[in-house]
Amino acid sequence: MEFSLSSEQIAIRDMARGFANERMAPHAAEWDENKIFPVETLREAAALGLAGIYCAETHGGSGLGRLDATLIFEELASACPSTAAYISIHNMVGWMIDRFGDEAQRARFVPKLMTMEHLASYCLTEPGSGSDAASLRSTTRRDGDDYILNGEKAFISGGSASDLYLSMVRTGQDGPKGISCLIVEKDTAGLSFGKLEQKLGWNSQPTAAVVFENCRVPAANLIGGEGDGFAIAMQGLDGGRLNIGACSIGGARAALEAATG
């Protein structure tokens, strides 16, 4: 079966390659060595449409497809896999809000995510639930117009630095049908963070536990309905896994080129 990129896809790939070579590669070692989270560079990427690659254009997304995204992330990761992976996670969160949020939520949250004025983290993994995400234990209870949230998320990319934490929490029964999806904003009382994880590389993005202690989150921040969170989380990961796979290819390709070039 013959496969080739369209002229538009080649242009998208070349744009991402140029940005990676000019704005990321020269700084990647410094970012990693000094644990610098390159927010201004992230916003430069956003100005090129790379913060909402497959979000609708209505609120500032680029309206591209999944193949376009993989082309972009392979190129970005050839310069800095760590930074590229964070941009991928930010894209995933933006898409989940754009796809499953109501119009008020889209209008409130999505535009600032598309410019990366606001940064986003995806909060699913917990100390006791990684691959078995349906067993998560962070709980919430309804209190009037709010939810009261308690629990802890582990190994969160952007933890302590992001503005929004898209969090999968338990609002009902055990198992996937009891999980809901809430946006927790950075200034929420009771939101705190663990110490930054010590990593071998991957240091241009902070990674930390996200801790909820009686966090009062407006019910208006619920994405979808109660019990929809697991399905939303898995659909987000469908695209996220493609992007991380592309990041892995980009990093490996750059290593091979450096070793053999």
Q: Domains (ranges, CATH) in the chain?
A: 7-117+235-260 (1.10.540.10), 120-225 (2.40.110.10)
Percentages helix, strand, coil for the chain, rounded to the nearest 5?
50, 20, 30
How many residues in total does the chain contain?
261
Query: In the prediction, which pLDDT does 2 show?
Result: 78
Mean pLDDT of 104-133: 95
Specify the pLDDT at position 261: 80
Return the structure tokens found at 158: 């952007």
Question: For 12-134, where are the E strands, in sequence order?
Answer: 120-123
pLDDT-derived band at 1, boundaries 50, 70, 90: confident
Q: What is the pLDDT of residues 219-244, one digit of tens each?
A: 999 999 999 999 999 999 999 999 99
pTM score over 0.75? yes
Cα angle vertex 84, ends 79, 86, to 5°?
150
Query: Which pLDDT does position 128 carry in this prediction?
Result: 86
* Average pLDDT in the chain: 97
What is the average per-residue pLDDT within 113-135?
93
* pLDDT tens figures, 62-82: 999 999 999 999 999 999 999
Q: Which tens digit of pLDDT belongs to each residue from 12-28?
A: 999 999 999 999 999 99
- One-letter amino acid of 135: S
pLDDT in the model for residue 27: 99
Instruction: Give me the amino acid identity at 232.
Output: I
Q: C-alpha distances in angstroms, 181 versus 50, 99, 169, 230?
A: 24, 13, 6, 8
Tell me what the mean pLDDT of segment 161-190 comes to.
97
